[in-house]
Amino acid sequence: MNESPVLQLEGVAKSFGPVIALRSGSLTLEPGSIHALIGENGAGKSTLVKIMAGLYRRDSGDFRLHGEPVDFSTTAQSKAAGIAVIYQEPTLFPDLSVTENIFMGRQPTGRLGRIDRRSMRQETAQIFGRLGVTMDPDRITEGLSIADQQIIEIAKAISLDASVLIMDEPTAALSGVEVERLFAVARSLRDEGRAVLFISHRFDEVFALCDTVTVMRDGAYIATTPISETTVDQLVRQMVGRDVTELFPKQTVPIGEPLLEVSGLTSAGVFHDISFDVRAGEIVALAGLVGAGRSEVARAVFGIDPYSAGEVRLLGRTVPRSSPTDAMRAGLALVPEDRRKQGLVIESGVGQNITLSIRRQLSKFGILTTGMENRAAKVWASRLEVKTHALDTVAGTLSGGNQQKVVLAKWLATNPRVLIVDEPTRGIDVGTKAEVHRLLSELAGQGIGILMISSELPEVLGMADRVLVMHEGRITAELPRAEATSENVMFAATHSTEQHR
């Protein structure tokens, strides 16, 4: 820790009109260290990142790189100064090769000014080797997983010899194996003496990977602590300003009639012979590894994707295939996994987004005013602690987690009989997580049936009355709450038959 810091921010502030995104952000990054940045949704983490990336310009405060004051007005300046930002969803050129993407805009030229492809390929292969990653430098990037695309961005940062690598919620869209590989890469970056900043809402990741942690709350710096000297409880208190006692507030609810009945649902190559039901008052978890086909089943049930065989029934009636509108009318709702892409009208207001699916019911004599919308939306927005100072705030300017909450609110407002939620708390901070769980529990208490897809085992075990486990497109286990242990669920998630019985 005697080395001087690579990057220092002190009392940095940023406002957008009346919205104070950042009051006083402070952060010190040391070389050869992985630093976690945590805080509730809307705490200002991404805003701080964007200032470092040259995407936003700070209003005030101190920003130093290698001890020298800097003030970036473009991302190119930040890059040139050695700061690389890896976003949740990288933006590569799909029809260029891996190598071409890494050297985009600065191809080394050999004699006669010709692009020296050979040395580009060699350097790419060498960086992958150093990172312990196997990927063909010549393949085009179209069709690569998000995890692979992130690795390409990291390789690019290394080839530019970036001294600071910033990852803003990089693991949100990754599977377990991919997270492990990203962590291995981050550790080798640290061992090469680079400074790594890692943003995540998952404490297990923060503790597994990071050396130091900085907590932000309400746009301000709260504390920086070596990871070995802190605990989850302490971090939660710093983030939320209070104790979060019960993360899984599950009510005991009498289980009623089957509401949703799915039988023999099949879509060639995606999922096969899926049968299950969800009863009134019941929370059924659909567990499994990323890629097991859980979201695909949900999308088929809700009519977004087609299926080739099988039937979906709601309250005893067949739900027509391939029509989300009919599914919604029948009483189904689906909160999608990728809420930003699939559920949010970025340019509309928060209130409008929340009431989007219930406009018909809300309007009186065909008239729907913003005031009427906002009154209906307000209930849900405050329930889910959507941090925005007005309901007409444009949804696209909300923090990532708050956008997720808006979409959740929108579907809850439709008053469904059966609610399908895909990764309901992904990207959502710990305080609101408890609130989302309480809400699901309450909805079940009102007799709604809930199908919850979740990759977080504690959430599955804490909330579900029954756990269905999928592996490679098939249901491999159905476990009542009493038998749903992490061992049983993990076993079924990784094996193709019901051998565990």
Q: What residue ranges bind ligand ATP (CB under 6 A)?
A: 16, 19, 21, 39, 41-47, 387, 397-402
Alpha-carbon distance of 370 to 377, in angstroms, equals 10
Alpha-carbon distance of 453 to 219, in angstroms, equals 32
In the bound state with ligand ATP, the residue whose beta carbon lies nearer, of 51 and 334, is: 51
Residue 310 binds which entry of ligand ATP, Mg ion, none, with Cβ cut-offs from 5 to 8 Å by kind? none
- Least distance in Å: CB of 169 to ligand ATP? 7
- Least distance in Å: CB of 85 to Mg ion? 12
- Least distance in Å: CB of 485 to ligand ATP? 31
Confirm if 240 and 385 have CB atoms less than 8 A apart: no
Alpha-carbon distance of 209 to 270, in angstroms, equals 34
- Least distance in Å: CB of 468 to ligand ATP? 30
SS3 assignment, position 164: strand
Dihedrals phi, psi of 434, to nearest 5 degrees: -60, -40
Residue 41 binds which entry of Mg ion, ligand ATP, none, with Cβ cut-offs from 5 to 8 Å by kind? ligand ATP
In the bound state with Mg ion, the residue whose beta carbon lies nearer, of 41 and 101, is: 41
In the bound state with ligand ATP, the residue whose beta carbon lies nearer, of 399 and 476, is: 399
Lay out the sheet containing 317-318: strands in order across: 271-279, 258-267, 309-314, 317-318
In the bound state with Mg ion, the residue whose beta carbon lies nearer, of 33 and 46, is: 46
Alpha-carbon distance of 411 to 355, in angstroms, equals 9
In the bound state with Mg ion, the residue whose beta carbon lies nearer, of 172 and 274, is: 172
- Least distance in Å: CB of 20 to ligand ATP? 8
Residue 402 binds which entry of ligand ATP, Mg ion, none, with Cβ cut-offs from 5 to 8 Å by kind? ligand ATP
In the bound state with Mg ion, the residue whose beta carbon lies nearer, of 42 and 424, is: 42
Widest CA span of the chain, in angstroms? 79
In the bound state with ligand ATP, the residue whose beta carbon lies nearer, of 282 and 435, is: 435
Residue 101 binds which entry of Mg ion, ligand ATP, none, with Cβ cut-offs from 5 to 8 Å by kind? none
25 forms bridges with which residues in the sheet?
12
Alpha-carbon distance of 102 to 123, in angstroms, equals 10
Q: Which residues bind Mg ion (CB under 5 A)?
A: 46, 400
Buried b / exposed e over 81-103, threshold 16 CB at 10 Å, is bbbbbbbbebebeeeebbbbbbb
Residue type, 51: I
- Least distance in Å: CB of 87 to ligand ATP? 12
Residue 397 binds which entry of ligand ATP, Mg ion, none, with Cβ cut-offs from 5 to 8 Å by kind? ligand ATP
Q: How far apart are the first and last CA of the chain?
A: 53
Alpha-carbon distance of 425 to 421, in angstroms, equals 9
Alpha-carbon distance of 264 to 98, in angstroms, equals 41
* Residue nearest ligand ATP, Cβ-based: 401
Task: Give the start-end residues of each E strand in 66-126.
Answer: 68-69, 83-86
- Least distance in Å: CB of 399 to Mg ion? 5
In the bound state with Mg ion, the residue whose beta carbon lies nearer, of 100 and 169, is: 169
- Least distance in Å: CB of 8 to ligand ATP? 19
Residue type, 158: I
Tokens 């080395």, residue located: 3
In the bound state with ligand ATP, the residue whose beta carbon lies nearer, of 47 and 425, is: 47
- Least distance in Å: CB of 209 to ligand ATP? 18
Residue 449 binds which entry of ligand ATP, Mg ion, none, with Cβ cut-offs from 5 to 8 Å by kind? none
Residue 99 binds which entry of Mg ion, ligand ATP, none, with Cβ cut-offs from 5 to 8 Å by kind? none
Residue 47 binds which entry of Mg ion, ligand ATP, none, with Cβ cut-offs from 5 to 8 Å by kind? ligand ATP
Alpha-carbon distance of 341 to 203, in angstroms, equals 26
